[in-house]
Amino acid sequence: MSTVSRHWPTNLVLDEVDLAGIVHEDLPVLLSGTGGGSMEVIENKRALADEVALRARLTASMQALAVADSRPQPDEIHLEVQLWRGGYDLPATASPADYVAWCVLAATSSNHEQSGAIAVADPRAGCALVPMPGLPWGRSAMIAAKVGAHLAAPGWLTHFVIPVEKDQAVIVAVAFSI
C-alpha cells in the first residue's frame, strides 16, 4: 500500500508576539491621528521602544521557516512600520524577498473581525473542480488586526490586506528578509 506524501509543503509561522517593552506605551495615540491618507509609513522609533527586540523576533520566525524549507537563513531584515486607516487595502501581491513577516502593533476595534486582516494564499494552480485557487496544495491563512498577531510566510505566497473599516486604524510592522 502506498501513502500520499506532501512534496511541496508551504510552511508558515502563525503566532502571537508579547509586545510589552517593544512598543511605546502611548502607541494607541497614533491611531487617533488624522491625515496622511489611508496608508502612512511612520518612523520606526515613533512606534517601537525596542526595535532590536522586534527585529530579533521577526528574524527568528523567518529563520525557522528557512530551516523548515531547507534554505539559507536570513541574517538581516528590512523593517517598516505602517499606519493603515479606513479604506486601506492591499490587493493580492507577492514579494521578491524570500520571506515576509507582519506583526500588528496596535489596532482600534472594528465591526467585522476580518477588517484590516492580513492574509496569505497559495497562488499555485490546484486541480480541476477545486473551489479555491491553490488547493489542494495549500490553504489560505489569516491574522486578524489584533495587537500581537504575527504571521511570517514565504514571499512568493500571495498576500493581501482585507479593507480597513472607515473608523478603524491599524499599526503594523512589516518585515522583508534581505
Q: Is 151 within the bounds of a domain?
A: yes
pLDDT of residue 10: 83
> In residues, how long is the chain?
178
Q: What is the mean pLDDT of residues 63-67?
A: 96
- The pTM of this model reads 0.89
Strand (E) or helix (H) holding 164:
none
Query: Rounded distance, CA 100 to CA 8, Å?
Result: 19
Q: Is 2 within the bounds of a domain?
A: no
Q: What is the mean pLDDT of residues 26-52?
A: 89
Q: In what order do the strands lie in the sheet with 77-85?
A: 13-16, 149-154, 99-107, 169-177, 77-85, 39-42
pLDDT greater at residue 7 or residue 9: 9
For the ranges 9-18, 84-93, 104-113, 123-132, which has the lowest average pLDDT?
123-132
Buried-exposed string 90-102: b where 16+ CB fall within 10 A, e elsewhere: eeeeebebbbbbb
Identify the DSSP state of 23. Answer: B
Q: Output the domain CATH number for residue 124.
A: 2.60.120.10
Note the pLDDT tens digit of each residue in 99-148. 999 999 999 999 999 999 999 988 776 655 555 554 445 567 899 999 99
Question: 3 pLDDT exceeds 80?
Answer: no
pLDDT of residue 63: 97
Q: Which residue has the cell 490586506?
A: 161
Contacts of 173 (CB under 8 A, 6+ apart): 47, 48, 54, 58, 79, 80, 81, 82, 102, 103, 105
pLDDT of residue 37: 86
* Pairing label, strands 149-154, 13-16: antiparallel
pLDDT of residue 144: 96
**Which residue range forms the structural domain that includes residue 58?**
13-177
Question: 23 pLDDT exceeds 60?
Answer: yes
Total structural domains in the chain? 1
One-letter amino acid for residue 109 of the chain: S
Q: Is 22 within the bounds of a domain?
A: yes
Q: Is 68 within the bounds of a domain?
A: yes
